[in-house]
Structure 1
């Protein structure tokens, strides 16, 4: 099954790349039309090697490329944490949100700190899905992540330490990182105030 999915990816990669640009431009326009200033928008189409590793990690889950919801990803980075919800409302008004596969990673227990981001799995809705410039993309789901610049800074640090590090981080160092994450969360709140 893995080879079937990777072959489908090879055939459709150009479509994903075209869709990536259209989505980035569309989302930027929607945000700008609503008068919100953001730090930036990042986007990517998952490369073949990353896709292969993802399939390997959950062999039974993926029966086709359409079941992998983050082959295409968009990330919106706001200056302020309260803009995350404002942009989320814009996204919900313009796209279909797959609630079953979306998650709000900002919701934490009172005693935990760390990665914070809003992740939606979405696809086009009518009438946009029927427009000639979008019709060939109308069944492709993609992931959009929305987070503040401080949440983004922490995510980048945590990703490199947690996923790319060849050594395990000692417990006392992980505790120090957790305290720093708490300070970043506090800074986000103070910037809004």
Structure 2
């Protein structure tokens, strides 16, 4: 492909627009009295070198990238708690400004590596000077702990060129389980804090 810049421009636009919209949801929650399910939002367009590597690895012809590579554009929502993920997924499903093409639950069905995340593939409309263009965007929703693990795993994959030594793989799998146990523990603690708050509120109401 000769002109990567013009090819990837609509993808950059899709990422920027989705980031603004998702951060908007976060701000609405922050202004309300409800718990904010979105901790932060990030996004990126795949670097050309990564696109070429993946195309080679998956035997995807460069003229089929638009239809066959679902993660050219990527947006990530990071949450505090595991249960926030289902709240965010439900929110995304109510939107009418894009279409959900596919959903993959790697939290219930974790990957062999230990990777956990909820993936959605969106078909998002971008308005260009030549008309509307439908862009595939991969949306990942995960907790802070899952994100921390995935960031380290990604760095190690890069370091070992995708061939992580067996002993390191086992350590990563154990770390993934530890991260998930931490998520579960924090959810339980949060539940207990909420219960305690309700008890305090009720006792204060009875005193008045």
TM-score normalised over the length of structure 1 = 0.78
Distance 1:175 1:138, change over 3 A: same
Deviations 1:161-190 (A, max 9, x none): 234325955434433332222111111011
Q: What residue is the counterpart of 1:86 in the other structure?
A: 87
Q: What residue is the counterpart of 2:42 in the other structure?
A: 42
Distance 1:15 1:169, change over 3 A: closer
Q: What residue is the counterpart of 2:155 in the other structure?
A: 160
Q: Which gives a bigger RCO, structure 1 or 2 (Cα 8 Å, sep 6+)?
A: 1
d(CA) in 1 for partners of 2:66 and 2:163?
Answer: 35
Query: Could you tell which deviates more after superposition, 41-50 or 11-20?
Result: 11-20
Q: Is this contact kept in 2: 1:37–1:78, CA < 8 A?
A: yes
d(CA) in 2 for partners of 1:122 and 1:187?
Answer: 30
The 5-angstrom pairing of residues 71-82 of structure 1 reads: 71-82=72-83
The 5-angstrom pairing of residues 103-118 of structure 1 reads: 103-108=104-109, 114-118=114-118
d(CA) in 2 for partners of 1:141 and 1:37?
Answer: 24
Distance 1:183 1:137, change over 3 A: farther
- SS of the aligned residue for 1:82 comes to helix
Deviations 1:106-150 (A, max 9, x none): 1237xx6721001110024xxxx59x79x9565111010000000
Deviations 1:57-87 (A, max 9, x none): 1224664232122111101111111111111
- Cα RMSD for the two superposed structures: 2.8
Q: Is this contact kept in 2: 1:19–1:137, CA < 8 A?
A: no
Q: Is this contact kept in 2: 1:74–1:145, CA < 8 A?
A: yes
- SS of the aligned residue for 1:59 comes to coil
d(CA) in 2 for partners of 1:103 and 1:179?
Answer: 23
d(CA) in 1 for partners of 2:47 and 2:90?
Answer: 30
Q: 1:180 aligns with which of 165, 175, 178?
A: 175
Q: What residue is the counterpart of 1:149 in the other structure?
A: 144
Q: Is this contact kept in 2: 1:122–1:141, CA < 8 A?
A: yes
- SS of the aligned residue for 1:103 comes to strand
Q: What residue is the counterpart of 1:98 in the other structure?
A: 101
Q: Show structure 1 runs of 5+ residues with no match.
A: none
Compare CA radii of gyration and give the structure with the larger one. 2
Number of positions where the alignment pairs a residue of Structure 1 with one of Structure 2: 178
Q: Is this contact kept in 1: 2:37–2:87, CA < 8 A?
A: no
Q: Is this contact kept in 2: 1:119–1:145, CA < 8 A?
A: yes
